Amino acid sequence: GESVGLHLPTLSVQEGDNSIINCAYSNSASDYFIWYKQESGKGPQFIIDIRSNMDKRQGQRVTVLLNKTVKHLSLQIAATQPGDSAVYLCAEGLRGGGGADGLTFGKGTHLIIQP
Amino acid sequence: EAQVTQNPRYLITVTGKKLTVTCSQNMNHEYMSWYRQDPGLGLRQIYYSMNVEVTDKGDVPEGYKVSRKEKRNFPLILESPSPNQTSLYFCASSPLPPLRNYGYTFGSGTRLTVV
Protein backbone atom coordinates (compact mmCIF):
# COMPACT_ATOMS: atom_id res chain seq x y z
CA GLY A 1 0.00 0.00 0.00
CA GLU A 2 0.89 3.66 -0.10
CA SER A 3 2.88 5.35 2.61
CA VAL A 4 1.21 8.70 2.88
CA GLY A 5 3.16 10.13 5.79
CA LEU A 6 6.67 9.04 6.73
CA HIS A 7 6.83 11.62 9.49
CA LEU A 8 3.36 11.30 10.95
CA PRO A 9 2.59 11.20 14.64
CA THR A 10 1.61 7.67 15.57
CA LEU A 11 -0.92 6.44 18.08
CA SER A 12 -0.84 2.78 19.04
CA VAL A 13 -3.80 1.30 20.92
CA GLN A 14 -4.97 -2.14 21.95
CA GLU A 15 -7.89 -3.64 20.11
CA GLY A 16 -11.05 -2.95 22.07
CA ASP A 17 -9.71 0.16 23.78
CA ASN A 18 -10.91 3.68 23.00
CA SER A 19 -8.73 5.89 20.79
CA ILE A 20 -8.38 9.65 21.01
CA ILE A 21 -6.78 11.44 18.09
CA ASN A 22 -5.95 15.10 18.49
CA CYS A 23 -5.66 17.98 16.07
CA ALA A 24 -4.59 21.57 16.66
CA TYR A 25 -6.07 23.82 14.01
CA SER A 26 -4.55 27.08 12.90
CA ASN A 27 -7.27 29.60 12.09
CA SER A 28 -9.34 30.88 15.00
CA ALA A 29 -11.95 32.06 12.49
CA SER A 30 -12.54 28.55 11.07
CA ASP A 31 -16.14 27.51 11.53
CA TYR A 32 -16.31 24.07 9.96
CA PHE A 33 -14.23 20.99 10.75
CA ILE A 34 -14.07 17.54 9.22
CA TRP A 35 -12.35 14.30 10.14
CA TYR A 36 -11.26 11.97 7.34
CA LYS A 37 -9.95 8.41 7.47
CA GLN A 38 -7.28 7.42 4.94
CA GLU A 39 -6.49 3.74 4.62
CA SER A 40 -3.34 2.55 2.93
CA GLY A 41 -3.62 2.88 -0.84
CA LYS A 42 -6.89 4.80 -0.74
CA GLY A 43 -8.13 8.34 -0.76
CA PRO A 44 -9.46 10.09 2.37
CA GLN A 45 -13.01 9.14 3.40
CA PHE A 46 -15.38 11.35 5.36
CA ILE A 47 -15.98 10.26 8.97
CA ILE A 48 -17.71 13.10 10.78
CA ASP A 49 -17.97 16.88 10.74
CA ILE A 50 -18.76 19.59 13.24
CA ARG A 51 -19.65 23.25 13.02
CA SER A 52 -18.25 25.88 15.32
CA ASN A 53 -21.57 26.44 17.07
CA MET A 54 -21.22 22.95 18.57
CA ASP A 55 -18.79 21.48 21.12
CA LYS A 56 -19.52 17.84 20.50
CA ARG A 57 -21.02 15.63 17.85
CA GLN A 58 -21.51 11.89 17.89
CA GLY A 59 -21.66 9.34 15.13
CA GLN A 60 -21.49 5.59 15.05
CA ARG A 61 -18.60 4.69 17.41
CA VAL A 62 -17.04 8.11 16.83
CA THR A 63 -17.28 11.40 18.68
CA VAL A 64 -15.75 14.71 17.67
CA LEU A 65 -15.00 17.33 20.32
CA LEU A 66 -14.25 20.96 19.52
CA ASN A 67 -12.54 23.35 21.91
CA LYS A 68 -12.47 26.75 20.24
CA THR A 69 -10.71 28.41 23.16
CA VAL A 70 -7.51 26.49 22.51
CA LYS A 71 -8.19 25.70 18.82
CA HIS A 72 -8.28 21.98 19.44
CA LEU A 73 -10.22 19.23 17.77
CA SER A 74 -10.31 15.60 18.80
CA LEU A 75 -11.72 12.39 17.39
CA GLN A 76 -12.69 9.63 19.80
CA ILE A 77 -13.17 6.12 18.47
CA ALA A 78 -14.91 3.69 20.81
CA ALA A 79 -13.94 0.02 21.04
CA THR A 80 -11.20 0.26 18.42
CA GLN A 81 -11.15 -2.50 15.82
CA PRO A 82 -8.43 -3.69 13.42
CA GLY A 83 -10.29 -1.99 10.57
CA ASP A 84 -9.74 1.35 12.27
CA SER A 85 -6.04 1.24 11.41
CA ALA A 86 -5.46 4.20 9.12
CA VAL A 87 -4.19 7.74 8.91
CA TYR A 88 -6.70 10.22 10.33
CA LEU A 89 -6.80 13.71 8.86
CA CYS A 90 -8.47 16.75 10.33
CA ALA A 91 -9.56 19.61 8.10
CA GLU A 92 -10.73 23.11 8.88
CA GLY A 93 -12.47 25.76 6.86
CA LEU A 94 -14.19 29.09 6.94
CA ARG A 95 -17.56 29.02 5.22
CA GLY A 96 -18.05 32.18 3.30
CA GLY A 97 -14.35 32.94 3.41
CA GLY A 98 -12.42 34.14 0.40
CA GLY A 99 -13.12 31.96 -2.61
CA ALA A 100 -15.47 29.04 -2.90
CA ASP A 101 -13.09 26.52 -1.48
CA GLY A 102 -11.08 26.97 1.70
CA LEU A 103 -10.54 23.55 3.27
CA THR A 104 -7.14 23.24 5.00
CA PHE A 105 -5.88 19.80 5.99
CA GLY A 106 -3.70 18.79 8.90
CA LYS A 107 -0.79 16.43 8.36
CA GLY A 108 -2.54 13.46 9.94
CA THR A 109 -2.08 10.89 12.69
CA HIS A 110 -1.35 7.24 12.05
CA LEU A 111 -3.51 4.98 14.22
CA ILE A 112 -2.13 1.48 14.76
CA ILE A 113 -4.23 -1.22 16.39
CA GLN A 114 -2.39 -3.81 18.47
CA PRO A 115 -4.06 -7.24 18.69
CA GLU B 1 -21.41 2.93 -7.77
CA ALA B 2 -20.88 6.61 -6.99
CA GLN B 3 -17.19 7.35 -7.23
CA VAL B 4 -14.32 9.52 -8.32
CA THR B 5 -12.04 7.67 -10.75
CA GLN B 6 -8.45 8.64 -11.41
CA ASN B 7 -6.09 7.20 -13.96
CA PRO B 8 -3.44 6.01 -13.91
CA ARG B 9 -2.91 4.73 -10.34
CA TYR B 10 0.86 4.66 -10.80
CA LEU B 11 3.04 6.55 -13.25
CA ILE B 12 6.79 6.87 -13.66
CA THR B 13 7.93 9.47 -16.17
CA VAL B 14 10.98 11.49 -17.13
CA THR B 15 11.60 15.18 -16.58
CA GLY B 16 10.01 17.35 -19.22
CA LYS B 17 7.67 14.79 -20.76
CA LYS B 18 4.13 16.16 -20.75
CA LEU B 19 1.55 14.04 -18.96
CA THR B 20 -2.11 14.13 -18.05
CA VAL B 21 -3.80 12.51 -15.08
CA THR B 22 -7.48 12.01 -15.72
CA CYS B 23 -10.28 12.38 -13.20
CA SER B 24 -13.92 11.56 -13.68
CA GLN B 25 -16.89 11.58 -11.30
CA ASN B 26 -20.31 10.03 -11.88
CA MET B 27 -22.22 11.93 -9.19
CA ASN B 28 -23.05 15.09 -11.19
CA HIS B 29 -21.01 17.15 -8.73
CA GLU B 30 -20.41 20.84 -9.38
CA TYR B 31 -17.16 21.16 -7.45
CA MET B 32 -13.95 19.34 -8.27
CA SER B 33 -10.44 19.70 -6.96
CA TRP B 34 -6.90 18.37 -7.22
CA TYR B 35 -4.65 17.83 -4.19
CA ARG B 36 -1.12 16.58 -3.74
CA GLN B 37 -0.02 14.74 -0.63
CA ASP B 38 3.58 14.77 0.54
CA PRO B 39 5.23 13.42 3.70
CA GLY B 40 5.35 16.06 6.40
CA LEU B 41 3.24 18.50 4.36
CA GLY B 42 -0.14 16.83 4.24
CA LEU B 43 -2.75 17.50 1.58
CA ARG B 44 -2.31 20.70 -0.39
CA GLN B 45 -4.74 21.98 -2.99
CA ILE B 46 -3.45 22.52 -6.51
CA TYR B 47 -6.51 23.72 -8.42
CA TYR B 48 -10.25 23.63 -7.98
CA SER B 49 -13.28 24.14 -10.16
CA MET B 50 -16.71 25.42 -9.19
CA ASN B 51 -18.37 24.44 -12.45
CA VAL B 52 -17.77 23.85 -16.15
CA GLU B 53 -15.25 26.34 -17.55
CA VAL B 54 -14.63 27.81 -14.07
CA THR B 55 -11.26 26.97 -12.50
CA ASP B 56 -9.16 28.65 -9.80
CA LYS B 57 -5.72 28.24 -8.31
CA GLY B 58 -5.30 26.53 -4.99
CA ASP B 59 -2.29 26.77 -2.71
CA VAL B 60 0.33 25.13 -4.97
CA PRO B 61 -0.65 25.68 -8.64
CA GLU B 62 2.82 26.25 -10.11
CA GLY B 63 3.72 23.72 -12.78
CA TYR B 64 0.18 22.45 -13.23
CA LYS B 65 -2.76 23.14 -15.51
CA VAL B 66 -6.35 21.97 -15.40
CA SER B 67 -9.42 22.16 -17.58
CA ARG B 68 -13.13 21.66 -17.00
CA LYS B 69 -14.81 21.29 -20.36
CA GLU B 70 -17.37 18.83 -19.05
CA LYS B 71 -18.96 18.57 -15.64
CA ARG B 72 -17.74 15.03 -14.97
CA ASN B 73 -14.08 15.41 -16.01
CA PHE B 74 -11.28 17.44 -14.47
CA PRO B 75 -7.87 16.42 -15.88
CA LEU B 76 -4.60 17.54 -14.30
CA ILE B 77 -1.90 18.45 -16.83
CA LEU B 78 1.83 18.66 -16.17
CA GLU B 79 3.30 20.36 -19.23
CA SER B 80 6.93 19.83 -18.20
CA PRO B 81 7.14 17.61 -15.12
CA SER B 82 10.03 18.03 -12.72
CA PRO B 83 11.27 15.78 -9.89
CA ASN B 84 9.72 18.07 -7.25
CA GLN B 85 6.33 17.08 -8.64
CA THR B 86 6.88 13.52 -7.50
CA SER B 87 3.95 13.03 -5.17
CA LEU B 88 0.65 11.29 -4.44
CA TYR B 89 -2.18 13.09 -6.21
CA PHE B 90 -5.88 13.03 -5.34
CA CYS B 91 -8.87 14.22 -7.29
CA ALA B 92 -12.00 15.07 -5.33
CA SER B 93 -15.55 16.24 -5.98
CA SER B 94 -18.47 17.73 -4.06
CA PRO B 95 -22.07 18.61 -4.98
CA LEU B 96 -21.97 21.93 -3.15
CA PRO B 97 -19.24 24.22 -1.85
CA PRO B 98 -17.20 21.76 0.19
CA LEU B 99 -17.49 23.78 3.35
CA ARG B 100 -21.27 23.43 3.28
CA ASN B 101 -21.47 19.75 2.57
CA TYR B 102 -19.15 17.26 4.21
CA GLY B 103 -16.10 18.34 2.27
CA TYR B 104 -15.05 16.27 -0.71
CA THR B 105 -15.37 12.71 -2.01
CA PHE B 106 -11.86 11.61 -2.96
CA GLY B 107 -10.51 9.34 -5.66
CA SER B 108 -8.06 6.54 -4.88
CA GLY B 109 -4.97 8.50 -5.79
CA THR B 110 -2.25 8.59 -8.45
CA ARG B 111 1.34 7.93 -7.41
CA LEU B 112 3.56 9.97 -9.75
CA THR B 113 7.33 9.64 -9.88
CA VAL B 114 9.35 12.01 -12.05
CA VAL B 115 12.94 10.96 -12.66
Instruction: Determine the residue among B99, B101, B102 to mutate to test chain A binding: the one whose Cβ has the most chain A Cβ atoms within 10 Å.
Output: B99
All residues of chain A having their beta carbon less than 8 Å from the beta carbon of residue B97 are: 95, 100-101
Q: What percent of chain A has pLDDT over 70?
A: 87
Instruction: Determine the residue among A103, A107, A109 to mutate to test chain B binding: the one whose Cβ has the most chain B Cβ atoms within 10 Å.
Output: A103
pLDDT at A101: 59
Q: What percent of chain B has pLDDT over 70?
A: 96
What stretch of H or E contains B113?
Answer: strand B110-114
pLDDT at A6: 47
pLDDT at B110: 98
pLDDT at A1: 36
pLDDT at A3: 36
pLDDT at A26: 85
pLDDT tens per residue, range B55-80: 999 999 999 999 999 999 999 999 99
All residues of chain A having their beta carbon less than 8 Å from the beta carbon of residue B45 are: 101, 103
* Average of per-residue pLDDT values in chain B: 93
Task: Say if residue B96's pLDDT is above 80.
Answer: no
pLDDT at A89: 95
Q: What is the DSSP string of B25-94?
A: ESS--SEEEEEEEETTTEEEEEEEEEETTEEEE-S--TT-EE--SSSSB--EEESS--GGG-EEEEEEEE
pLDDT at A103: 83
Please state the length of chain B.
115
Banded pLDDT at B29 (limits 50, 70, 90): very high
All residues of chain A having their beta carbon less than 8 Å from the beta carbon of residue B43 are: 44, 89, 105
Q: Averaged over B98-105, what is the pLDDT?
A: 74
* Residues A41 and A1: beta-carbon distance below 8 Å: yes
Task: Say if residue B99's pLDDT is above 90.
Answer: no
Q: What is the DSSP string of A26-57?
A: S-TT--EEEEEEE-TTS--EEEEEEETT-SEE
Q: Averaged over B84-94, what is the pLDDT?
A: 96
Task: Say if residue B22's pLDDT is above 80.
Answer: yes
pLDDT at B112: 98
Residue B31 touches chain A, beta carbons under 8 Å: yes
pLDDT at B1: 87
Rounded to a whole number of angstroms, the distance from the CA of A16 to the nearest CA of chain B is 28
Tell me the C-alpha distance between B80 and B58, whole Å.
Answer: 19
Output the tens digit of pLDDT for each of chain A's 115 residues.
333 334 579 999 999 999 999 999 988 888 889 999 999 989 999 999 999 999 999 999 999 999 999 999 999 999 999 999 999 999 998 765 544 556 889 989 999 999 8
CB within 8 Å: A100 and B42: no
